[in-house]
Structure 1
C-alpha cells in the first residue's frame, strides 16, 4: 500500500473491531471437544511489524502463514511488512477459514471504507432496491446453469400429493461431533448434513445411481424490510432446486466434495427464482417440483421474549438476531438442522396426510444413522455402504 499509512489503517480497523465482535473472537474447545467462541473485551488488533527486503519477504510470509492461533487472541491476525528500499508496505491477514467467509468480509470492507473516511456506517439497503437490482441483472448465465442442471430431472414420486403442506413437526437432538470429520474431508458440517439428506433420498428411491432432487433454502442477504412476505425478518430467502448426481461406487469423500462444489455453484447462480428456473428448463412445477426441502441454520434463533437489551448484546449478527418465524411450507417433508451450543437440533416438518408420526420417527433415525456413518467413514467408505445400511 502506498496511499495510506499503517497507523491510519490500524486506527480504522481497530474501530471496526469495536463494531464487529467476530473480529475479536478467540476460540477454545470445551470438555466435549466442541469449539466455543469467546469475545474479547479489547478491540486491540494482533499486529506484527517487520522491515524486510525482497530476499527475506517470502520467508516471513511462509512463517506467518504456518503460525498457530493462540487462545486469548483473536483468530484473525495481521502483519505489516515495510519495504526497506521504499515507502511501500504490505498487509498480511491470517484468519481461521472456518470462522470467516467472503460475505462477511464484503460487509467489513464497506464498513472499513466508511470508518477510514469518517463517514457513517452503511445501513442495509431497502428491499425494493434489492429486488429491482436483482430484476435488472442479466440472469442469462444463471438460467443457463439451471437449464443444464435440470436436464435429467425426473417427475416427483408417483405417490406424492399434488398440493402438500407441512402441518406437524418432530424434533430431535443430534449428539454428534462433526468438526473433525469435516476437517478431514475438507467440507463443512453443513455439507455433511446436506449429504446425509441426499443419501436418505437415494435410499428412498432404491436405485444404483442417478439424480435425487430437493429444494434448498438459501438465505443470508440482509435487506431492510419491516413487513414483506418474501423475507424472514429482513433476511432475503430464496429456494433453489438442487439436483444431486451419484453412483453407488462413488467414494463418500468424493461425494461430499462434489456436494460442496455443487452447493457453491448453486449459490453463485442463486439470483433467480423457482418459476424462472422451471420455465427455462421447460418443466412443469406441477409434475416436477421437489417435495422435500433442506435447510441448515448455523446459529440458534433468539427465543421469543428476548428483551431489546439482550438482543443488542447478542454476539452473532447475521442469523441469531432473527426471531423464529415460520413461512408456509408447501412440501411433504422439510428437514432443518440448526447449530446449538454443544450439539445440533434436527427438526422434521411433515404433511401428516402423507407421513405418519412413526414413519417420521424412522426417518429421523435413518438421518441420524447416515450422518454418523458419513462422519465415521467419510475418508474410506463408498456410497453403497450407506445405501445398504
Structure 2
C-alpha cells in the first residue's frame, strides 16, 4: 500500500490519520459527557459531594482534556498532510447535490477538529480549577489570562462547536454507509487498510461554495446559541451575596484584595472575595504593644474560586445559605519584627483565635499592608466529606493586601 495519496486512492499516512482521529474523537466524547454529568452533581450545592466523586470526575476530565489536546495536534498534522497531498476525487462527483453535501461535511469536520479542542483548551487555561491536562508542558497558554468570563465564553463555544462536530460525524458516517450499502461503490473501502482497486473518479468540479456553506452552518449554530441564551453570563446567577453595611473607620480602605488559595489534586486554585469591609482603628507607636483594632466582615457569596465556586457555596463547605458572612475581630499589635492582627476568626459557626502577621508601610495619611495566614479547613468544618487530602488539601492560605487612607479628624 503506497504511503502517499493518488487522485483515486488514499495512502497509508492519510488512512492512519483518519482512523486515529476517529479513535480519539470516540474516546473524548463519552469521557467528556460522563465527566460533565458528574460535574453537574458536584457543582450543585444541594447535592452532597464525596471525595470519591470529585476524584472520579477530575480523572475523567483530565483524560478528556488530554485526549482533546491530542486531537488538536493530530488534526493540525492531518490538515498539513492533506494540503501536501493530491485529494482523491469523489466517486459521486456527477451527483452535484450529494457531492456538495459531502464537501460541506468535510469542511465542517476539519474545522471542528480544530475549533472544538482549541476552545476547550482555552477554557482550561483561563480557568482556576482542577483536572489538569496529563502532560509535562504546563496548564497555561500564552496570551490567555485567568478569567472567569473568558472561560465561560470558551466553554459555551466548546459546547456549540461540539454539537457541530457530532452532527457532521453523523452525516459523514451516514454518507459512508450509504455509499457502501446502497451505492455499493468503493468510497468506504478505499479508506480501509490494505490495497484497494478503486475506479478512476469522474471529473471533479471544485469551488469554495462548500466551505462557505460550512461557515454558514457555524454562524447559524452560534446565532441559535446567542438567541437561546447560551452566551448569557451564568456566573451572575450564582450564590446569593450578603449585603454588607457601610462601616465607620478611622482608616478608609481605598483598594485591596482578600484572596484564598487551596490545593486541589495537587494543583493550586486561587479564589477571591469581591465584597468585604474593614473597620480599622490604628495609631502607630515607637514601642511594641497594642496599636489598634480591626473588624472585618466578608460576604461569603462574593467568592469566586475557579470551576468549584458553586461547590464551595454548598452545605459541606462554606454553606453560604446558612452562614452568609465570615468575621474577623482582632487587635492590632506592633511587635519587635513587624505587626500582627490577633483575634477570633469566625467561619460558618466555628470561631478560632488566629494570628495574622503583616507588613505595614505608613506614608503620611496613607497606609499599605500585606499579610498571609495559613488555616486548616477542617478546623471550620469545611469539606468534612473529604477527610483526606487525596483531592482537597487541608491547608488554605489567606492573603490580604490593602491601601487605606486616614479619615479626616
**Range of TM-score over shorter length:** under 0.3
* TM-score (structure 1 length as normaliser): 0.23
* Greater relative CO, 1 or 2 (CA 8 Å, sep 6+): 1
